[in-house]
Amino acid sequence: MNNEKIEGIGSIHGGEYEKISVEGMGKLKSDATVKHISVEGMFKSKGKIVADEMNVEGMARIHRDLKIKSLHIDGLMKVRRASISAGKIVCDGLLICNREVLADEIQVDGMCSISKMYGDHIVIENNISKLSDTKIPTNFMFLVKGYFGRKISLTHSLVDIVECTELEASGLKAAVIKANKVKLEGNCIVNKLYCDGEMIIDDSCHVNEIISKNKPINMKKEIGGMADVMLTKILDLYKEGKINADEAEKMLGASGKMPSQSSNSSVSTPWEDDGKLRVVAFIGKKLLKKGEAGAKSLEIKIEGEVKNVECYGSLQCGTISGSASAGGSIHSNDIGGNASCGGSLTCASISGNVSAGGGVHINR
């Protein structure tokens, strides 16, 4: 097989080659099968390329499909109206593709703007500083968006759709991510995330919607604004009988935000945050009122002294230093304030007024 080297300006016809080297300005006019391609200058391909290895340190424009075992980009590669199929892709420069990029392993340590990315293990570490090591002037980036056919961002790598087994990303902006395992950090922005395995998402990221079919949700760090979404998902799994109470508690703990730890993740309630202990009941999302059948069947026992307490069912407790209210009966020691209940009242003493739907028994 022949070797082809262009140091000035030249063209290459299709065929089989051992090596193609472009140090000046070269054009591939038709399909070619090559073991090794090296681009240090400017290269334009009008033919399909099948290659074992391709290294791009200059600028390459690819207009037909590229099938390759190993692709390494230190400069700039623009793939327009064509796709890349590879075993491994390493991009320390800039990769733009308005169709598909498919590889078993993809590692972007520079920047990319891609329509669809498919792979087994994908790592995207958006790093504009890597471009300073290439021949690409970063101030030129703002002027070439129309030329490249896709938007270019200096703050994020842009991928419309990512589908893979495992994804690790920093500084990624994506419309849809589908993966079995996901780790997001460094201000990632995602519209929809489909993940049935472990999710690690740090506080700097924003995910609009998380969709998970299976129960193993292991959120190491919860992202801002996503606590309500994850809480709802876990509660749905519990209500559907897919997990038990212990599993739900572990998942809530793993999410980094238990419902009681933040008012942002609490259920909206019709009362003020006044410090009063309230024991209530829900059917679905409906808050039962005092005296309703579902609430009256509740029997709550509280150990020790409480200040003010309001229970939508029946209440049994020790000393109440303040007021007490219950939808059912009250059985307690001393009550330091007023007491009202829908059933009977039994206590050692009471300092305030009494209102009861049943009998009142003072055991002095």
The pLDDT, as a whole number, for residue 353 is 85
Q: Which stretches of the chain score pLDDT less than 70?
A: 129-148, 214-298, 364
* Element counts in the chain: helices (H) and strands (E): 4, 32
Distances (CA, A) of 41 to 38, 47, 136: 9, 18, 12
Domain ranges across the chain: 2-254, 277-362
Distances (CA, A) of 79 to 115, 150, 348: 11, 10, 84
The residues with which 207 forms a beta bridge, in sequence order, are 190
DSSP string, 78-134: EE-S--EEEEEEEESSEEEEEEEEEEEEEEESSEEEEEEEEEEEEEEE--GGGGGGT
d(CA 251, CA 345) in angstroms, rounded, equals 40
pLDDT digits (tens, 9 = 90+) for 19-41: 999 999 999 999 999 999 999 99
Q: Contact, 228 vs 210, CB < 8 A?
A: no
The pLDDT, as a whole number, for residue 311 is 80
Contacts of 121 (CB under 8 A, 6+ apart): 104, 105, 106, 164, 165, 166
d(CA 227, CA 229) in angstroms, rounded, equals 5
The pLDDT, as a whole number, for residue 263 is 38
d(CA 2, CA 17) in angstroms, rounded, equals 5
pLDDT digits (tens, 9 = 90+) for 228-261: 455 656 666 665 666 666 666 666 555 444 444 3
